[in-house]
Every structure is written in C-alpha cells, then in structure tokens.
Structure 1
Amino acid sequence: MAGHPPDQVWQIIGSPELYPRFVPAISWCEVTEAAARGRGPRCLIRLAPDRETLVEGTIHAVVYRPNEHVVWCGLPDERNWVSFELHAIEGGRTEIVLRLMLPSLPPERRDFFSRSAVKGLLKELTRRIDQQLAGEAADPPPQDRATALRTANVLVRAGVIAAGRPDKVIRQLNSLSQWGATVAGGYLAATARGADEIAVHDERNTRTFREIDERSNRLANALAKLGVQAGQRVALMCRNHAAMIEAFVGCSKLGTDVILLNTGLSPSAVEDVLADHRPAAVLADDEFARTISDVRGDFPRVSTWDDAEQGYRTVDELIHDTPSNRPKPSERPGQIVVLTSGTTGAPKGARRPTPKGLGTAATILARIPLRARDKIAVAAPMFHSWGLAAMQVGMALRAELSLIRRFDAEQTLRMIAEHRCDALFAVPIMLQRIQDLPERVRSRYDLSSLRIVASSGSAMSGTFVTTFMDTFGDILYNFYGSTEVSWASIADPADLRAAPTTAGRCPPGTRIAVLDEDRKLVPPGDEGQIFVGNDMLFDGYTNGSSVPRAQDLMATGDIGYTDAGGRLFITGRADEMIVSGGENVFPRPVEEALVALPGVSDAAVVGVPDDEYGQRLAAYVVLREGARMHAEDVQHYIHQKLARFAVPRDVFFVTELPRNATGKILKRLLNDDMWPVSPQT
C-alpha cells in the first residue's frame, strides 16, 4: 500500500470493530472482550455477503502482535482461521498477506470464500484502507433511482393502482387531478374507490370514507363561517382520533395551513407557538381546554374530543346545521406545519411540502411492504412526523386506521388482535414498553396477522432490535428521517438482522452524503455530518430560518457513517458532541453499550463542564426491577467496550429519564439540578 507504513495500516487491521466499514461482506463486529496483555480481543461477528445470507459466530485473536500480525479463529471450532500479516516494504509501504483455512465450512458457504472471492475481498479492503489513510473521499453510496416504471411497479404491487369499475377509477383520478396529493386529495381519491369501506376507528367512533368526506365538508364550511379563510392557519392540539383526521381533511379542503401542536408542550410553550403563528382558529381536545383558554387572542376555539363539562363547542355541534357541499379547491394548497421535537431547545415550526403525487408514497412502499386495505394500528402521535406519515401512506392505500389515543402496551396488543391489524406504526419507546410486558401477558393476544412493525422517531439499541425480532419475528422496520428532510433511509428486517443498529439504506430517489466540515465527502469509514436529498425536503421554518445545505442536499443535524455494504449508521447529534480532554465523543455509542449491560433498561449520556478536561461524560442509568449496580461496575464495563475517553466520569442511577410525548429523551433536563439522581445504588 503506497505511502502507508504498517503502524498506520494496523489502525484498521487491528481494530475489528471497524471491519464492517471496510469489508462489504462483514455487516457487524462487536468486541465482547478487549485485547489485554498476552491475548487478543474476542468478538461477535456477522457475515452478510448478500441479502439472503447471514452467518453469525464468535471469533478471537489467537495471535495479536500490533503492527505485525493478527490471526482470527472461530469459536468453539478453531480449525477455521484467517490471518493478516503486515510487512514493511521499500518506500514506506505495507504489504498485506492474507491467509485463511476453512476446513469445517459448510459446502453451501464455500463459494463465498473461493479464490476469486477472496481476491476481490482483499482488493476492496486495500482500496478502502488506502483511501482512508490518504484522506481521499469515499465513493458515494449507490443511489437507487426512482424511475416512472419502478414507481408504477411499486404502486401496482401495493394495490394503490389496481383495476376496478371504470367510473370509480375515473373519479379517483379526477380527485387527484383536482386536489393534488394533499390530504383532501388522498381521502377523496380513497372515497371514490371505496366510499363505504371503513377508513378509521377510535375508541368511540367508526368512520367510513364517505362519512369522513361529508363531515370534513361540513367542518370546512363551518370554519369558513367563523371567518377562517384559505391561506390562514388552524392549530390542532389533539391526540389520535377520528376528529383529528376530519380536521386534517377539512382544513385541506379549505386551503388552510395546519399547525400541529405537540400534546406534551407546556402551557407557556403553547402560548409562544400560537403567538408566533397567529392561528385563525384552534381545535383541541378538552383536556387541553384550559391551556388554550389562557392564550390571548380572539380566535375561535373548538373541541375535538369532548370529555369535560366546561369544554368549548364540539366539532359535532359546529357542523350540525352546516351544509355538506364540498368547497372548491384552493389555488394554494394548505401546508402542514410540524413542530420540531425541542429536545435541545424551543420547538420550531417546520413547513412540510405537499407530496408530489403518489411517488411519495411509493418511496416508502418500496421498502416497507404495506398493501392496499391493510389494517394499520397508529400508536405514533399524528402531530409527530411518523404518525402523520402513517395517515398519509394509509390514505394512499385506502387503509383502515386503528387510532390509539393514549398508548398502553397491553391495550395496543389487544387492539391489534381484535382488529387483526397488519401493521403497527409506533415510536421506539412504545415498542420497548410492549417488549417489557411479561411473556404471559403478551401470549394472551393473537398477533399472527401482524406483518409489519414500523418504527421511527429515535434510536433503537442493537440489543433491543435483536430481542424484539426474536420475540415477535422478523417484522421490524426502522425508518430514519427528520421533520426537515422527511426520510433518509429505511432498514428492513434483513438489514437489522445483519447490523442491528443500522438506519438502513436509501429508498428509491433518495441520496445521502456524509460530509466533513468543508462539505466534502469523508474518507471510507470516517464519520461526518449526514446530508439528504429527496423530493420532500421541507420548505423552511416558519420563523424564516432553515438548515444547512450542500450539493443540493440538506443536513439532518446527525453525525454518522456508511459501512462498506452501503448501510447508514447514526452515531450522534452534531450538537451533542462532547470534547473531553481533546477527544471528540458522541453519547450514542456509550448509550448503546450501556443498554446492552444486563440489568440496565434505559440510559442517557450528556456532557457536563469539567475544570480539567473541559467536559466530562455523565451517564444517567435506569435499572431493571430488582437489579443492583454500582457506578464502578458501569465504568469498568464501558472501559472493556470502548476507548478510555468514552468512560463516564459520573454515573447517576435514576428511576426514569425525562421524555417528550413522542418518547425522545429531553437531555437538557438532565443537567437540571431538580432532576432526582443518586450517585450509586
């Protein structure tokens, strides 16, 4: 290798946790025992040479001479071994000698280690190492293009485009032509194909597509009588229920923008958001009536879920005597404004663009195999981008949505069993609560209809991903995106089995790039800021600001890398980087290691000021019931897994972590002196 002496090459050859970043066939390598004096490391390794093959095993280094030689043997059968030798040659270069002996390899796997395959592996390995050490840009991940033919094939396979009665097909196409791919257009197209099919049910009501059409017409006309006009804003503060969907559709028909208020916002935050956005009306569940009543303004207030004696006029009362004639499409389609999560600061309103036809739904359907008329349980809040996506994809599929107003793990399983749901849209903390149910409780419910569990909103630990699929089957899909970029990648069950912490691969028509501070592609294996390009990048914040762009791509705010197989991994938030003693540390790898520790159910890591190091790591750990642990146990465990500078100096045991309504950890509250902690248990 030109210009790279053995000690530089050893930085990669001697670091098995980096192998997936340089060898496409290696999807996962986790160091379970670090190298120590007189012995090499021990690792869990997964080989995924193609989408259908996954081989998992344990290896250990029986020879481990830094800068010179490493020999990996399989356990418990040490007859299989792979050897890397590094020889210094003239000109400061390194020769890599690869030897392997695989006598006990099953015949069906020997093709993966044929002479030609091994030559190809070594060639790719040396090329990527050379690029890395030379600081040369990595090749961009391959882009899966979204051609018109491919989009059509996806929509046909999902049943979105299907043969039917000519009059219904014509009405469906006319609806999309008149209204576009708005919420109104999607539900009107679904009504044209199946007016009397069930569209949605909640704990009180069941609505057909015809009923949603008629009631949303009346609601749009009622709002117009109250003075709400196209181009103005209507705020919704609702949990998941049918009236929220009727409000979505009615506002879309009227041409108003919809501001989605997070139900977990404090009264002062609600007041700030409404003051910034100046809505023409506010529709809210009665439980938030007092919060809304305290906000100054003469806008009308309407109840979307009646459960208080002193609530506002309800949607039913508002539309009772209002005509059901359908408004004409507005010249300017109304937009949906989603608030950012506010985990590190005040939430901002992000304007979501109107989807560009059915191709937007096809992007998701290409990786998550939902089908027309599927029954979808929606636990993710619809004020959140993921719950909103469930509704928007669901309307394209004419799906039957089972809306979960207040999440309860066992009640969710009961609903899935009773309605024979095909899919569940949830955020990770909900899936964790389901997994935490005793097996005797989970076994009460027949979940055999469930083909898809689609999760988004925050990171899932590799330990949890594997445990969940071992329990419920290979039905888990991990969607990575943000309010600003919509989607970036989707991991299907094959991806998650191969590499449990991956964010997956780009769906058709999407590009990602991992860029350095100069907005250039990073070398292979390096981490950098993640930028995304697709057809649904947001239109900017309502306060006029936006996010960084580069090469027609938009920043997600996350740091990550792509492995040699093209999978994306997220290692942390750009604004969460901790500089401790001159070393850059991101909390997520430390958190990932912590939740894999037996006895730990949840963990968060933050940076706190330190006079000596500038910053130090503080870990907040939630133990499982009955578990006992000391801070020194945690620190020793992390020291065995990660670098010295990644070991938390402070370990606090807490009963729970502060989370917002979508389950994201509010790390800014962990530095609050009011949060109850104890230094050890």
Structure 2
Amino acid sequence: MNIGMLLDMAADGFGDRIVIGHKDEGLSARRLRELAVGGAHLARASEADAILYLAVNGPALPVALFAAARAAVPLVPVNYRLGEEQLDALLANHPRALGIADAEHAGALRRAGLPVRTPAEWLAQAAENAGLAADDEPAQPDAPAALIYTSGTTSAPKGVVLRHRNLVSYVLGTVEFAAADPEEAALVSVPPYHIAAVSNVLTNLYAGRRALTLEQFTPDGWLGLVRRERITNAMVVPTMLARIMDTDGLDRSVPTLRTLAYGGARMPVRVIEAALGAWPHVDFVNAYGLTETSSTITVLGPEEHRRALASDDPVVRARLGSAGLPVPGIELEVRDPFGEVVAPGETGQIWVRGEQVSGEYAGGGPVVDERGFFHTRDQGHVDADGYLHIEGRADDTIIRGAENIAPAEIEDVLLGHPDVLDAVVVGVPDEEWGQRIEAVVVLREGVTVDADALRAQVRGTLRGSRTPERIECWPELPRTPTGKLVRRDVVEALTAEGREAVGRQG
C-alpha cells in the first residue's frame, strides 16, 4: 500500500468534503486527487526523479506530496531557512528534481540549475493537467515517499528516507478512517520541511478533517485564526504554547477547540499546567517522535494529562512531563551504553522498532541494529507503568524551539574569525525555547573581540535562530587529555547560580 491509496480512500469515501484550506475556497478530497493526477503528469513530463518543495506551507504541499506518490518519486521538502552555502549543497543532491519555490527562495533553485514554479503556478499547471487520464503506475510500498533533511551532530544535513510503508503504517496505526465530524478543522503550525507537516497532511486527510496551516506564528494571530475558522484540533510546539500562555492582555478564548497536540521539544511543566487551567475543556496530547520514525512513537493522552494534574502521587504527577506510552506497533527499549535494557527508573538511551520506523538515510542502508531497533539518540527512562520520560539528547545536538541545531556548524563560523583560537557552542535550559544557544571562545593573547560582532558574523553566515544569545571569552576550554571537549562542564559553568541573567537578543 502507498500513500496515494489513502487519498483514493478519502476521495471515494467523502469526496466532496473540504480537506485542505478555508471552508469556502478549499480543496475537496476529490479535487485534491485530481490535482495530484495533474501534478504527476508534470513530474513525468519533466522526467523528474523528485518533487522539491522550497516554500512556506500551504495547499501546494499536499498536492506535491500526492503528485509525487502518483509519479513514483519522493517529495523533498527543503528548509528554506538554511544559509546559502548549506542550501546550495543540499540542492546539488537533486539535479533532476521538479522545483517548487516561492519568490523569496526561487534564486536558490536557479543557482542549482532547476526550473522554478511558484506554488501558485504549480497549482495552476496541475489543474490544467487534472483532466488527463491517471496513467500512473502506483508506487510500491518500499519506494521512497519523502526525503526529509534533518541536521544531526554535524553541520551537514542528513536526508531521512521515509518509504510508503513507513508512512502508511503510521497512519493506519494511529488514525481511524473517516472518524472526524464534517465540521472538524485542524490547524498545523509547523513548517513544511518538518515531519509533522507531512504526517499531518496524511492523518487529517485519512480522518476526514479539514486542515489549515499558519505561515507566521504570533499568539494573537493563532488565537484569532482558531476562532475565525472554528478550529477543533490544533498542533503547536512548546514555544508557541508558552507564548500564548505568557503574553499579557490576550483574549485566550477558544470555544471550538477540542484537542491540542504538542511536541518537538520538552514542554515546561508550568506551561502545560497553565494551559490545562486556562482551557479545561480541551484535550491535550503530548506526541513524541522523530523524522526517522515517521512522526509520533509515544503519546500522553488527554485523560493522562488530567489525572497527572489532579494527582498527589509524585509518580503520577511526574507523568505530566512525560512523553507517554508507545503507540500501537511500536516497541521501545531503554538501554545502557552496552546495549542492555535497563530497569524502570534508570536512565538510558532510547531505541525503537516498528513498521513505521525508517531509521534510514540517503546514501546508505537502514541504521538499525540486528534486531531492527533504531537508536533515537535521545536519553530517558520509563517508569514502572511504561511511561517514557525524555531527559535530553544523547549527543550534543541543541534543540531550540523544536528545531535541531548542530553546534559544529556554529563553531566553524566562530573559528573562521582570525582572532578566535578555540570555540564551543552548547544548549542551556530555557523556559521558552527548550534550549538557548550560548558559546565560549578563546581569543588570541592580547586581543579583544566584541561579542556582538561575533554574533553578527554567525547571523550573517547562518541565520538568527542559530546565533548564540551570549558569547563569553575564557582563557581555555575544558578538554580531556585526548583533546575532547567536556561540554557538560561548559553548560554547568554557564548555568551556575549567581551568574548574570541573559537578556533576549535577536
């Protein structure tokens, strides 16, 4: 089975129902299939081996996803916030792709020698071909459905291969077909290159729920859209919910909202407590997952949220900060560094197995062990009842507002300054972002460098979200005898009591 069959089921089961966009001008399930047929003709006519999407979220994304499935090529949603050098290197991997880009990012495709269609042009051309016969050969279950780039511990993004069977398994294991009421509407507030954007296209469609996207988040804008569009289901990252709860003077009324899912980073307990108090009628769902696992692998459900909030038992109460229990079809183990499963309550590294788990990167085979388990590189523990508690990354990746950031790419920019001899970049705990970026540099003897100038250098090379909020100068960095940085010592020093608080900087 491939993801195109999910669209066929929707078009045949509730074809006239609006499933994408605003209720009065959105796409029905049947029209979405017609546009996917037209888009597949475009892909085949251009002999494309992928459909590359470099634009903000919107109706063009689901059309591209299903057109790619019908053309038996993968969708490649690309992070438009990458620096020019990184973006050019990534696009060089796809010289035969059919490119979709908005005006702001079209230049990157032109530099790569790819033809450019804006999202509006893509939809218009797909519509022109929508009436042609659907002569496509269905993609096989093992064919790649999407290639999503995610940064790990190095500066080079890795392409995660998600095959049709992975995504279909996730949908069938977590969603009931046509379960949504005709009036239900979902608001998705993640960029198109995030796994949640792809998975939410599939799950909302399969459930029969109309889906809208929000390009630019502001607390007031999000709340206003929820009220205007009578949103019943929404998904946010913790930073967004924190801003909604922390901003003074907001009208936080959300009379139609039934369910709010969150994920992508650790949710501060104080924020979820405030949200549960502000919206007692809303069902909260904490979803933990990775790109490599086709999205969600554990869930903390609505009743578990309420039970934890009301409980005096510290074990139950602690579950409010947990990632919940594995979804159907997922096996989870917490292991020590030697590969042995640890006892409940003991910290270890998290490994998962299941049909939805890809664990595969472009250019190589699946990165799983001999039993088929994938190492998430997160660490944590399970309690006596199997609830998973995430304690952080097993590697050095910084997670800022649900975005994975590799310290090495920032360190390389800092080390490019002629007076910087050594540099380390770490993530330190932050209530709003989950982690904030801070750096320490070692300068040449006798020189001084303005920290703001170093920050400007990072911002000019990468972008704002990768710019350290604070840069300090030390005489030396803590290293082992073999030269390895002891990052935990840096974090401890930067977060020591009595240090001056960090002010927010751009």
Name the TM tier (shorter chain).
0.7 to 0.9
Task: Name the CA distance, whole Å, in 2 between partners of 1:577 and 1:383.
Answer: 18
Residue 420 of structure 2 is matched in structure 1 by: none
Q: Secondary structure at the match of 2:325?
A: coil
Q: 2:124 aligns with which of 282, 295, 316?
A: 316
Residue 520 of structure 1 is matched in structure 2 by: 340
| Native 8 Å contact 1:214 1:324 kept in 2 | no
Q: 1:294 aligns with which of 92, 104, 111?
A: 111
Task: Name the CA distance, whole Å, in 2 between partners of 1:372 and 1:549.
Answer: 42
**1:467-486 equivalence runs, <5 A:** 467-473=274-280, 474-486=282-294
Against the structure 1 CA distance between its residues 279 and 478, is the aligned structure 2 distance closer, same or farther, given a 3 Å change threshold? farther
Residue 304 of structure 1 is matched in structure 2 by: 119
Q: 2:382 aligns with which of 550, 558, 562?
A: 562
The residue identity in structure 2 corresponding to 1:655 is R
Task: Name the CA distance, whole Å, in 1 between partners of 2:137 and 2:223.
Answer: 40
Residue 427 of structure 1 is matched in structure 2 by: 237
Residue 330 of structure 2 is matched in structure 1 by: 510
> How many Å apart are 1:304 and its aligned residue?
0.8
- The superposition leaves residues 250-300 of structure 1 with CA deviations (integer Å, 9 ceiling, x where unpaired) of 1111111111101222222221112123342111122211222222x3x32
Task: Name the CA distance, whole Å, in 2 between partners of 1:250 and 1:568.
Answer: 37
**1:106-255 equivalence runs, <5 A:** 180-182=1-3, 184-201=4-21, 205-228=25-48, 232-255=49-72
Which structure has the larger Rg? Answer: 1
Paired positions, count: 421
- The superposition leaves residues 434-477 of structure 1 with CA deviations (integer Å, 9 ceiling, x where unpaired) of 22333x4224x4x1221111112111122222122222225221
Residue 488 of structure 1 is matched in structure 2 by: 297
Task: Name the CA distance, whole Å, in 1 between partners of 2:180 and 2:493.
Answer: 42
Residue 604 of structure 1 is matched in structure 2 by: 436
RMSD: 3.2
The residue identity in structure 2 corresponding to 1:653 is V
> How many Å apart are 1:200 and its aligned residue?
0.9
Task: Name the CA distance, whole Å, in 2 between partners of 1:327 and 1:533.
Answer: 36
Task: Name the CA distance, whole Å, in 2 between partners of 1:478 and 1:205.
Answer: 32
Q: Secondary structure at the match of 2:44?
A: helix
Task: Name the CA distance, whole Å, in 1 between partners of 2:264 and 2:433.
Answer: 19
Residue 327 of structure 1 is matched in structure 2 by: 135
| Native 8 Å contact 2:174 2:327 kept in 1 | yes
Is 1:404 paired with 2:225?
no
- The superposition leaves residues 217-243 of structure 1 with CA deviations (integer Å, 9 ceiling, x where unpaired) of 222212322233xxx222111222111
Residue 194 of structure 2 is matched in structure 1 by: 384
Task: Name the CA distance, whole Å, in 2 between partners of 1:395 and 1:200.
Answer: 8
- The superposition leaves residues 506-554 of structure 1 with CA deviations (integer Å, 9 ceiling, x where unpaired) of 1222111111111111234221110011111115111216535264311
| Native 8 Å contact 2:359 2:374 kept in 1 | no
* TM, length-normalised to structure 1: 0.56
Identity of aligned residues (%): 20
Q: 1:460 aligns with which of 260, 263, 267?
A: 267
The residue identity in structure 2 corresponding to 1:251 is A
| Native 8 Å contact 1:618 1:651 kept in 2 | no
Gaps of 5+ in 1: 1-179, 306-312, 579-586, 622-630, 637-649, 658-681
Residue 469 of structure 2 is matched in structure 1 by: none
> How many Å apart are 1:341 and its aligned residue?
4.2
| Native 8 Å contact 1:481 1:488 kept in 2 | yes
> How many Å apart are 1:190 and its aligned residue?
0.8
> How many Å apart are 1:344 and its aligned residue?
5.5
Task: Name the CA distance, whole Å, in 2 between partners of 1:360 and 1:545.
Answer: 21
Against the structure 1 CA distance between its residues 204 and 270, is the aligned structure 2 distance closer, same or farther, given a 3 Å change threshold? farther
Is 1:269 paired with 2:86?
yes
> How many Å apart are 1:349 and its aligned residue?
0.6
Q: 2:247 aligns with which of 420, 430, 437?
A: 437
> How many Å apart are 1:350 and its aligned residue?
0.4
